[in-house]
Amino acid sequence: MRPLSLLCISLLLGHTLVHAESNDDLDKMLEEATTIATKTKLNADYVPGTVTVISGEKLKSLGINNLAEQNAFDMIVGFDSSTLSLRGAGSIYGSQGNKIKWMINDKPISSELWGMPKLGVGQIVFPIPTDAIDRIEIVRGPGSAIYGGNAIYGVVNIITKKESGTLFSTLSQTESNKYGRGIGAYGTLEKKDLEISAIVSVEKHDGWDLIAQSQSRHQSGNLPNATENNLFMGDASYKNFDFWFYRLQPRNDYSRVLWDPTNYLPQDNTNPVQSNTYTMLGVQGKFDLPSNVLLTAKAGLNRYENFANVMFYPASILGNNPNHLNGMRTINYIESTKYAEATLETTIGSNRILGGGYAGFLSVDQDDVIQTWSGANYHPGRFISLLTTNNPKRVNKALYLQDEIQLDDSCTATLGTRYDTYDDGRHALSPRIAFVYLYDEFNIFKSQYSRAFRPPSFSEQYSPNNQATHPPYESETADTVELSYIFKTKTSSFKTTAFHSRTSNMITYHDFTYETINLASPTTVEGLEIEVTKSTESVNFGANAAFYKSHRGEVKLVRGISMNYDPSEFGLSAKFLANVFATINTDTNYPTTFWYHYTGSKNRVNNALLDANGNVISIYSTNGSTPVQDYLNITQKVNGITKNLDLVFGVKNVFGKTLRTLYFPLNPPDTTDVPYMGQTFWVNAVYTF
């Protein structure tokens, strides 16, 4: 069969999406259709770079009922959900989610507190039920050429459903008679030129009995991990205008990534004490201009609120002395981003050209913290302003241009660049050049070079944990080269990508002081990612694996002491991650899915502390690494229990292992591994009307 051009493929794909009749056909189309790589709809295998598309139905079959779950993103190749890191970049020393561009329905979402573990804020949690998710699109690797800052290790776009009325409910049980319950619905109303769709859900989970230890305090007990999730998402379309209003509120019990083992344990309870509320609203219009030009204009307002009321008690008082608590922290934080963006898209001969401009204004509107430790009296008026004493505001402007060039029937080149400026004098140029070559209908080759950047967040620039005076931090930049090969048939596929990424001026935390620093020398990550699928009449099989080798740049003490660590691997960066999954009886109404996930051991920090001349001052032999983590999920689906009613149930973490990882701190002697997940039995019902 003669190789199809990318343009023909995109047109045929759009036609096939309309006429797909079976569920298998629809799943196949969902795997293929994506706009995330180039902002133009193409088959995921034919776009530049490494793109994966996972349907909501696939996530549910793996036992993921809500994206707020601790392992919700583990299925993504190279993603470690427990540290929110991607492509071999460990949590504190590389990512913790703030170096990924997150989007919901193509709309960016972020927070200046993300990636700030020291004061117990900055979680990244999306309380979206998988029943309401159409698909998740993922770019592994830089995406700044069209998405701007933070898109260093990846871009993740969560796309929700807009379908007929559906009601869903989930019940679950963990050990010690703790439970989870949730209910939600989504639907769409159409009348002439007006279409309105909405998603509503509420969920509460008591958590697990997970024993944690504070080594320095000689204390142990259950680490509270209850959660609540509230969601409303409303979209409306009228002629060529789209409107949206989203409100996402995950509430938690402060322990997912935030507890510091040097402090006393929080109270063991099932009442969440911290909330992160995201509000997103805006409007978008599309207009056909002369000369086959499409104009898309968008304006929006995003608001992020973080509220926490946390108490840490020593074993001696257990809350009986509220005026002399050994630890208390209250946080009330609000930030907002106002933005506008316009893009122009046209096709001229063999060139598909996309250009646009962006302007955004970010401000911290409230930032009050009450904090007391070590027996100090509690004073309600003792506020510590983390950021607002510096009046943090930021204006970001950007221009970008991209040209997809059809060189011939089998080869496409993508050239693009974006230029960002900030009102504090920062600027960044993010170029991209990529090639896609269709050798024949079965074999596809890709290559790409791209650059990404990220300016320091306000929490990094102004954190009170930093020294009193410090120079402005440099923006970090990452240059990545990757090569990919894809082999596809109707029933099987093999995909592999090799990459090398080099980050300059990496923004991170110091091993001992936890001050924000720029690493003195470049950091590198090299990796190999593999995906395999095979389907027969009654069985679907798949597996993926990621192998990473990271080299952290030099880490120095910055408080006037001439000491440094040897460069080493990222702290908490797994060298190997893998997934194996299989669904049997796919040709019946009762398919069964098995999913095995494996995360390799992770180093903490380099144990040798050196002076300025490279002489060893001390060695901490107890720091070591976190152990291997793995689990098995089994899910059973029964279609058509009654008319329009489907039932799904299963076991998460079949062997009941306590999954653990060390979030913070990394340096000795506090090396206690923090538990984050146990076993769960669950059942889910979906009724379509």
Residue 1 lies in a domain: no
Interval 573-600: pLDDT, tens: 889 999 999 999 999 999 999 999 999 9
Residue keyed to tokens 């004490």: 273
Residue 475 lies in a domain: yes
Q: What is the CATH number of the domain that holds 269?
A: 2.40.170.20
Say what percent of the chain tops pLDDT 90. 52
User: What residue numbers bound the domain in which 399 lies?
Assistant: 6-688
The partner residues of 187 in beta bridges, in order of sequence, read 198
Residue 380 lies in a domain: yes
The one-letter amino acid at 206: D
Compute the mean pLDDT over every residue in the chain, rounded to the nearest whole number: 82
Q: Is 392 helix (H, G, I), strand (E, B) or coil?
A: coil
CB-count exposure of residue 443 (10 Å: 0-12, 13-18, 19+)? middle
Compute how many other C-beta atoms are within 10 angstroms of the C-beta atom of residue 175.
13
Residue 142 lies in a domain: yes
| Phi, psi of 7, rounded to the nearest 5 degrees | -65, -45
Q: What is d(CA 346, CA 352) in angstroms, rounded to the nearest whole number?
A: 6
- Determine the average pLDDT of the residues in 564-572: 66
Residue 63 lies in a domain: yes
Q: Tell which wins on pLDDT, 534 or 257.
A: 534
CB-count exposure of residue 1 (10 Å: 0-12, 13-18, 19+)? exposed
Q: What is d(CA 74, CA 441) in angstroms, rounded to the nearest whole number?
A: 31
**CA dihedral (382, 383, 386, 388) positive or negative:** negative
Residue 311 lies in a domain: yes
The one-letter amino acid at 211: I
- pLDDT at residue 119 greater than cutoff 80: no
Residue 553 lies in a domain: yes
- The answer to whether 68 and 229 are in contact (CB under 8 A) is yes
In this prediction the pTM is 0.89
Q: How confident is the model at residue 82 (pLDDT cuts 50, 70, 90)?
A: confident
- The answer to whether 202 and 184 are in contact (CB under 8 A) is yes
Interval 352-405: pLDDT, tens: 999 999 999 999 998 877 666 554 444 444 455 666 667 789 999 999 999 999
Residue 451 lies in a domain: yes
Domain count, the chain: 1
